[in-house]
Structure 1
Amino acid sequence: MRFLLIFFLALVFLPVVGQKDVSDSVSLKEEIQHLNQKTVSIWLNFPDSAMNYARLAYQKAKKLDDPKLLSSSLRLIGGVHYYKGNYDSVIHYSNLSLKIAQELQDSVLMNNVLNNLGLAHNNMGSYQNALEYLLRSLNLKKALKQEYGLVLNTNNIGLVYQNLKDYGTAREYFLEALDIAERQKDNNLILYSQNNAGFTYLSQNNLEQAENYFRRSMAIDVDNKNWKAVTFSGMGQVYQLRGQFKDSRVYFDKALELRHEIGDKRGISEIYYMLSNENYLNQNYDSALFHLNHSQKIAEEISAKDRIFDNYELFAKIYHDVGSIDNAFFYQDSLLRLRDVLFNENMARNLAGIQLKIQEEENQRALSLKEEELERERQFVIFLIVVIVLILITVVITLYQVRINKKKNKALNLRNQEISQQKVEIEVQKETLLEKNAQLETAQRTIKNQNDQLEKYNRQLKTAVDEQSDQLKERNDQLMLANLELDNFIYKSSHDIKGPLATLLGMCNVALLDVEEDKARNYFEMLNETALGLNSILARLKTVSDISSLDLKFREINFSKIIEECVEQNRKIEGDESISVKYKIDHDLSFVSDPTLLDLIFFNIIQSVIKMRDTDMDSHDILITLKKNKFELDVDIMDHESGPKNKELGDVFKLFAKSALHHRTLGLGLYIVKQSVIKLGGSIVLLDDENHTHFKIKLPIT
């Protein structure tokens, strides 16, 4: 009796308890989903508050023991760490989320986590891993036909190529993402895509296009502090490259304020780097080092290798300019070692291999699906054959019964005729199925042959890439070593010789003040003149070394001013006020180039033409003509006083050539001219014109 009572009570109350548990579970799921939505909505502007929501959602998902919600919460925690610049934490939480998503075989979750991992590895300088994660995420999105996150994913792939300095490929991805964002009418994503496209033009020094994209971004009215800070930073860099430091500082201050508000460590480090670079350009070296040390401290804290790489490069420049050679050498060496980490010899091969690997996996997946389809069709064929065999057996039995019962009524005879007709139709179907089976086997053999050919091509391609990578590494190592040895030689030679040379000049000056004997004074004057000449040679050798490492800065060129200043400098150096240079410049000639290199070109070529003159000839004007055509600028320098010998035409641009010694020079002037012209992408020749010197220079339109 007691047992029956307990059983009755269980039947009454257990459904009520079960309904309460289900209701509580549904309510908790909705609360977790709401917390996740809050996290995503504020993580760009208020990452600290977003982290609190994400961690609370994780604790509730853990309590509910729901793997899918647990994976989503872990992914969002990693996402908030990304906007705070904690990339190690991004990778840690994303890997935990990915493991759960893979166990659930949830393609949507895996897709989002792969995108986060790609972003984190990209910002840590691990471009190979970044590209692999992002491409896998993009393929999953396309396979799922998922629009959500497609713009961000496409932008992120472009960021990897931008860090690899492949700006053309990067821009293709950014513009593709911008097109999708405009179709979706999402202003936040339009802002993000336009910023990224603007930075590709900024990296290529196309300031007009870069400013165009950043101004379009500034016109978008969205509450997005992170990407608005990126826009202000881009505009600041545009004005900084133009030398408009007052305007650039306004935009950098706006960007820094927003990034401090959202706690974006990477962005803060970037702005301090930009402020340091501005002070460096203005030769405020103490302020430059102060801001750069701030940037470096943050970059090391978040392991942002690409930011550390830029900082090392600026450290080396600053210490070199202030004369701290040991520090400059230390950061230059650190820069080279970090460059080997970021751009090692396997980078190009591995990036190409990632594309092939993912494509091969896609092909393998498609082949597996095809094989499954073929297997289902084979099973269907077997089923039909069994059915046909059973029907045939039935027909045989029926015919046997017909022969035994010949005296059946007309209804049975009609039935037999119908069955016979069905048999014919089944035979036709059988032949059709057999023919289709043969076609499927042929298709399978064709697929196998194509796979064999693809595998052979992959092996050949891998071998070719390996060989080219080895050759490229060997040549790069040789070139790097040669450049380093040349720079070290010139620097050490200048440093070692300048001390004794300064002493010698000082002694000559003192002697000329004290010695009164004419012959002795004459010797000291000649010795002083020789020392001054040696000092000039050392300065030019230093100029040769600086040309190769010079960063080009393009400005509108005032040719009249440059030529007149160079003529005046040569008059002072030669001590000859009779030096005369005339120049003809096309009307309204507009040309953009690097003024430093053009000053070197005109100064040294005028000086070289003067030195090539015969001393016993009357003075004549040197004529310089500048003409601009559609593709290039032609510069002709002519002197009717002297003409080169035919044997001089081939070696006047070489150091220490015989022709240079004949004209009392070491060939440094024309060598500097040629290196400067090559640096600008142009060409120079000495023409075989009778009885006069004629140099022709061609400079491309930039």
Structure 2
Amino acid sequence: MNYKLIFILILIINCQISFVNCFAQIDNTIDSLKAAVIVAKHDTTRIKTYIEIGDFYEYKSLDSAIYYYEKAQNLAKINSNKHPRFNSLQAAALRYLGIAEYNMGIYDKALEYLFKSVKIFEELLIQAKHNKNTDKIWEQTLKISKCFNDIGNVYCKQGTYDKSLSFYLKSLKICEEMLDDAKRSRNTNKIQEQKKNISKCYISIGNVHYFQGSYDKAINYYLKSLTIFEELLNMANQNKNINKIREQKQGISVCYNNIGNIYGDMGNSDKVYPVKRDRWFYRAIEYYLKSLKIIKELGDKNGISKCYNNLGSTYKELKNYGTALNYFLKSLKIKEELGDKNGTSTIWGNLADLHINIAVSCKDTQLRISHYREAVSYGLKSLKLAEEINAQYLINAEAAQLQKAFTALGNTANALKYAQIVISTKESMFNEEKTKSLAEMETKYQTEKKQLEIEKLEKQKALDKETIARKNAETKKQLIVIYSFVTGFLIILIFSIIILRLFIDKKRANVIILTKNSELKQANEEISTQRDLVVLQKKHIEVIHEEVTSSIRYAQRIQRAVMTASEQMNEILGEHFVIFKPRDIVSGDFYWVTKVKKWLIFCVADCTGHGVPGAFMSMLGISFLNEIVRKKEVTNAADVLNYLRNNVVASLKQENMNSEQPVTKERVMDGMDIVLCVLDTETLKMQFAGANNSVYIITNKQVTNNKQLIELKGDKMPVSIYPRMEPFKYQQYQMQKDDLIYLFSDGFADQFGGSKGKKFQYKQLKEVLTANCYQPLSEQKAILEKIFDQWKENCSQVDDVTIMGIKITT
């Protein structure tokens, strides 16, 4: 038992860091969304943003979530007469309000919101059918199905199981019909969506059977649901769809938790054989821990609280009261943070039951009385809250706890009072008529399902007849086409005879034209002479162009030769890639790599200009770097850029920028933007200095499932004469094995393209690098080149493009 406690504590500690980072990210996202509301120009955008803020708060503060859902609902209601989309947004906000109130345990208000939402969605569905808008019909039908499931959840929490099952079966029927439609249209996304919705319905129906004590039916529905979620998770993993993976894991976690509940109840019912009873409880704990592991990965506080509560209940049955109390208090803390009244009442009731169990096991009279009084305290708080939210099954359970406690304390009057409450609530929840009603509803559903299959077969037969009739009609059409062709051919023949006569007349006219042509011949000869002269000039220009192009291509070979060779880069850098796309034949960009003792120095630079002028600057830069680093062995990143700037200024005879002398051929203002890194191969500490350019690092320090992109920004001045000639700053970063480094010029981000002809931008470049950082570097290179070509499409390349990617392997 002690080893299991240690294991649980280790799991909790390992997840704390993930929680802190997860909620920090949620806070940042909420702040961004609140800023988006302020700058939004349209009410549609504001409403959607309010709903999105509410969604984020649902994991932190239900009161805040309700506040933003109400703002969305009110704003949508004000605009409801302007366009149907506002009605749809209002219905969505009402549904989210209902779910939030449900999570807080305020069931009457939850039902009020959900029924209002259903009414609006049904009105929108009628409009969509009238307009024959297939997409809208699908959308509104799906939303109605989800509302039915939500209403069923509320009735289930209230203990009104006949109404609950009725709405679950309505939702399931809609989902099955939509799945059939999706299969007919072979729409993979819709098929997956409806399978997920059907799986949720199975869970809900299983819950009703569980609360009714029909464990075989309940576990059958849970296993059906688990099978579907596991199938959908495999598909999501293959497609690497993070959102879908999260959804399916959430469903699997719920199934594990519900199966654990059943095993726990089976342990409670098997009191004759203690060994077998404990086996059921340990099996329940196994499933609860499976569920808890997944739900912690997802950061779902409500789900974590449920798992803690279930583990507490199971350890209580195993008489491990200390562990049980610890789990109950953890669960209670989360429920109180979320404002979940139903959950708070449930856990207070569980604490009351725990103290009753402890009291029964106590031999000391005073200690036993103390625990019974604690049970009464928790029971009264739980009962009060249960009556406030009208949760019949909780009222029944807490009245039973209070009856036990008061009986043990000898308070017969109060014991009798709460015994009467137990009887009255039990009759309202579990009378024979309601149990019969549940069975009749499920039988009716299965009958209607079979009838629907028969109707589908009849529709298929009618469709086959319609197909035969359509083929006959097509045959008639083909005959009509043949007759039309023959008629058309005769018409063409008649027109051909008419045209022939016209041709003869035209031939006679041509004799007259020939006479005039002889007069034009002399003029044509003069034109031909001038044309020949133009052709000779064109050929001369082409020869000159070919000579210039040949010279530039030779310059290209020289430029490539002075840059670091690929074999040398493989030896120095190890796993890496370089994308080098000059705008013209020669490039103003260059990359350079060397190793001095234990220092690995690499850089990417963007020189002023393109083509030949830029190439001259790039060769000048490479020459200076070789002299500074290889000969002088300068290994401080900032010092290298300072020396490089001094050499550029001196070589190009650049003068003080404060001079009033205008820029001329004699006063050269050219230079370069550069990012330069120096890596200590022993300690993996990396120095960085930059001129106008940054370096991206994707670190291997994982606190979530995603790697983190870090940007080290360079100084806002070039390597050349400039109004602000301050020394370049030195930055240092501790690298780790498998970290990724990206150096680049501005050519990729500044490329125009896409559907709107806009720049690619650095933000999108960061997203591409982060999304593909798990790929090998060779695959990353191929992806970047493909994205660049697709973005550029028919646009001309505006600048030289260079990207260097390096993986830390030592």
Under a length normalisation based on structure 2, what TM-score does the superposition of the two structures give?
Answer: 0.43
Q: Which has the higher contact order (CA 8 A, sep 6+)?
A: 2
Tell me which protein shows more helix as a share of its residues.
1
Under a length normalisation based on structure 1, what TM-score does the superposition of the two structures give?
Answer: 0.49
